[in-house]
Structure 1
Amino acid sequence: MTATEKDKNAPSDFMVQAAITYGCILLWIFLSALVIMVNKYVLAYAGFPFPIALTLTHMAFCAGLAFLIIKAGFVAPVNMDTRTYCRNVLPIAALFSGTLWLGNAAYLYLSVAFIQMLKATMPVTVFLTGVFLGTEKYSLMYALNMMVVAVGVGTASYGELNFNLVGAIFQAGSIVTESFRLCLIQLLLQASGIKLNPVTTLYYVAPACFAFLCIPFTFLELPRMLRPDTDPATAAVTEEAGLPVGWLMLSAVSAFALNMSVFVLIGRSSALTMNIAGVLKDWLLIMLSVVLYQSPVAGLQLFGYGIAFLGVCWYNYQKLKGAQQTLKSSPPPMDQESKPLLSDGSTGNGQKL
């Protein structure tokens, strides 16, 4: 092929690659929304008010498929001895178990729309946790930015028409445990040179999460499932609906597919693109919550979330700008490929490991 022919084909190749990239982003948005909306339906409407059991099905399904994928040779495993696994992976798995359990439990009490608004506090808790653990440096600008986000979320909470303190506590607990998990990933895994993609993460973390979740499940939910008569409200719902096997499988498959979409998307997008996609997904979930579940959203609530949204956007912009300056000041070696920057998302943006 001559240079002229290559130049002619360049625009079409660019369009094809762009179409694939944005197709992957749309798939990620769709799967993230699907996991959250299905989980809400299973827990609040399908007669299965057992968030720990739901999370256990996710962990069992994802761990099993990840095991098959690695054993089949599609993805190479990471060499990790028992000591490294216990010191570096198990603490992260324990925190992730709490994130998933508490986050799913919040769906029993709060609307999807309000939960998405509360999740806007994630940068605040990650920043505070990072300062506490030493992974972030205190900055007055960031602190003021976090205050804006906190005021916005506080206003949205004040405007929530169906506010439930128990649900808010569950969601706050999920956000806090996720913040510590993200910081520990940086402290334990990255500092040790351990690199896990979504498949190997499921392979190593999901079984540990399953084991950790079995403890509260045994004491909190298993007795209620075996003897529903001890909880009249649960008995009435579960006997009428039966076990939603189809919905549970859809939820587990969607959670695994979401992790695989992240695996595909990591090499095809920048952090800025991912953050914009995440913002679009949050607004989409609020709209779907109103349309599908008739969640009431007040004007004051939207106003508060708008303030928090602007604060989060500015925070992400500052973080990306700082990361780009760091990359420019320390360019990678010539024998390594330059990979796009991808911020580590939270489970709150879907059941992502």
Structure 2
Amino acid sequence: MSVYQQIVRTYFFVVTWMSISMAVIMFNKWILAYYGFPYPLALTMWHMFFCSSVAFVLVRVLKVVKSIGMSSKDYQRRVVPIGLLYAASLWLSNSAYLYLSVSFIQMTKALMPGLVYMIGCIMGTEVFTPKVTFNMVVIAIGVAIAAYGELNFVMIGVVEQLSSLLFEATRLMLVQVLINSQGLGMNPIQSLYYVSPACFVCLSIPFMALEFPLISERIESGSLIVSPYIMLGNAFAAFALNLAVFLLVGKTSALTMNIAGVLKDWILIWMSASVFAAPVSTLNLVGYFLAFLAVCYYNNHKLQQMKSREKANAKDEEEGGKKEDN
């Protein structure tokens, strides 16, 4: 493959992932806050049901993707905790759309590297260093400034969004500890096949207590009118996003996804202000820009660590080859 073809392919996967990701975020915001369906639990359960069904067909019926043959004991021990955290993260993140603007939610996501680092230090997957910790403090200060300048600051929405990020960071660490470290790496279809049903069951418990009575009352009164085409399109977009992530990381790299994610966040901030008329203050932008610079510095730090490890591994392999020759 020529250099030109590689560049075109990389940009194609980047644009595809960014487009689908932004479409899902804006679509969810519109359904929950403007369409007349303010039920984040029901919407998240619908996504999980759709993803579980499609993954089941692909794995069990069409056999496009193979299952990894996990026992019921391993499923309960490794997948169910991840599904529980995933359910909480999705529920709370969708709930935050009822109170906060898309732009401010994207700004708070700058805290994710710090939360992952903190949880990683607790679980022993990350090494505590003063330099990285200071970097995370700068990110937190930037997000705090952005929050202080938020014109539509709603405390319950902020608590839900921050809780969602905390659950997601914990989930990522558990995936690393319970799945990847055991050699059970999964592609997105396999992940949906195993995790989505557990997530659906975990969501059904609070759904029956919180949203089912409200939805039933509106159905009986005839005030709840939802187009099946809109809901089907929303679920398909959520499923397509998982495939786009797999293609982007598999065909390029995780670093490319991180860089594209930074650009996507800025575009979403602009789109939120344009489409939903969400006000963005100067203090918002100043705080997020500070957090953005700190996140870029942290990503560069991780990249240098990765290169150092690759050089060390290459050197060890070279020295091992020389010993074998001797």
Which residue of the partner structure matches residue 286 of structure 1?
A: 269
Determine if the alignment matches structure 1 residue 323 to structure 2 residue 306. yes
272-281 or 98-107, which deviates more = 272-281
Determine if the alignment matches structure 1 residue 227 to structure 2 residue 217. yes
Which residue of the partner structure matches residue 324 of structure 2?
A: none
> Moved runs in structure 1, 4+ residues, more than 4 A?
331-334
Give the residue type in structure 2 aligned to 1:327.
E
Say whether the 8 Å CA contact 1:98–1:177 is kept in structure 2: yes
Give the residue type in structure 2 aligned to 1:132.
I
2 CA distance for matches of 1:272 and 1:262? 12
Which residue of the partner structure matches residue 157 of structure 1?
A: 147
Which residue of the partner structure matches residue 44 of structure 1?
A: 33
Say whether the 8 Å CA contact 2:249–2:257 is kept in structure 1: no
Alignment of 1:85-164 (within 5 A): 85-164=75-154
2 CA distance for matches of 1:304 and 1:98? 28
Which residue of the partner structure matches residue 3 of structure 1?
A: none
Give the residue type in structure 2 aligned to 1:310.
L
Alignment of 1:249-264 (within 5 A): 249-264=232-247
- 1:248 and 1:200, CA in 2 relative to 1: closer, same or farther beyond 3 A? same
63-72 or 290-299, which deviates more = 63-72
Alignment of 1:1-40 (within 5 A): 13-40=2-29
- Please state whether the residue corresponding to 1:135 is helix, strand or coil: coil
Alignment of 1:326-341 (within 5 A): 326-331=309-314
TM-score, normalising length from structure 2? Answer: 0.93
Q: Alpha-carbon deviations, 1:96-144, whole Å to 9, x = none? A: 0000000000000000000000111111111111111111110111111
Which residue of the partner structure matches residue 178 of structure 1?
A: 168
Which residue of the partner structure matches residue 211 of structure 1?
A: 201
Say whether the 8 Å CA contact 1:152–1:307 is kept in structure 2: yes
Q: Alpha-carbon deviations, 1:22-44, whole Å to 9, x = none? A: 10110000000000000000000
RMSD, aligned α-carbons = 1.9
1 CA distance for matches of 2:18 and 2:206? 31
- Please state whether the residue corresponding to 1:191 is helix, strand or coil: helix
Aligned-residue offset at 1:297: 0.2
Aligned-residue offset at 1:175: 0.4
Give the residue type in structure 2 aligned to 1:193.
G
Say whether the 8 Å CA contact 1:48–1:244 is kept in structure 2: no
Task: Give structure 2 stretches of 5+ with no counterpart.
Answer: 318-326
Alignment of 1:240-279 (within 5 A): 242-279=225-262
- 1:244 and 1:42, CA in 2 relative to 1: closer, same or farther beyond 3 A? farther
Which residue of the partner structure matches residue 56 of structure 1?
A: 45
Which residue of the partner structure matches residue 166 of structure 1?
A: 156
Give the residue type in structure 2 aligned to 1:313.
C
Say whether the 8 Å CA contact 1:47–1:244 is kept in structure 2: no
Q: Alpha-carbon deviations, 1:37-84, whole Å to 9, x = none? A: 000000000000000000011001111111111121221211211111
1 CA distance for matches of 2:99 and 2:166? 18
- 1:77 and 1:299, CA in 2 relative to 1: closer, same or farther beyond 3 A? same
Give the residue type in structure 2 aligned to 1:14.
V
- 1:108 and 1:81, CA in 2 relative to 1: closer, same or farther beyond 3 A? same
Alignment of 1:295-306 (within 5 A): 295-306=278-289
1 CA distance for matches of 2:315 and 2:85? 32
Say whether the 8 Å CA contact 1:55–1:101 is kept in structure 2: yes
- 1:182 and 1:331, CA in 2 relative to 1: closer, same or farther beyond 3 A? farther
Task: Give structure 1 stretches of 5+ with no counterpart.
Answer: 1-9, 335-353
Give the residue type in structure 2 aligned to 1:17.
Q
Determine if the alignment matches structure 1 residue 196 to structure 2 residue 182. no
Number of matched pairs: 316
2 CA distance for matches of 1:244 and 1:304? 40
Aligned-residue offset at 1:197: 0.6
Aligned-residue offset at 1:277: 0.4
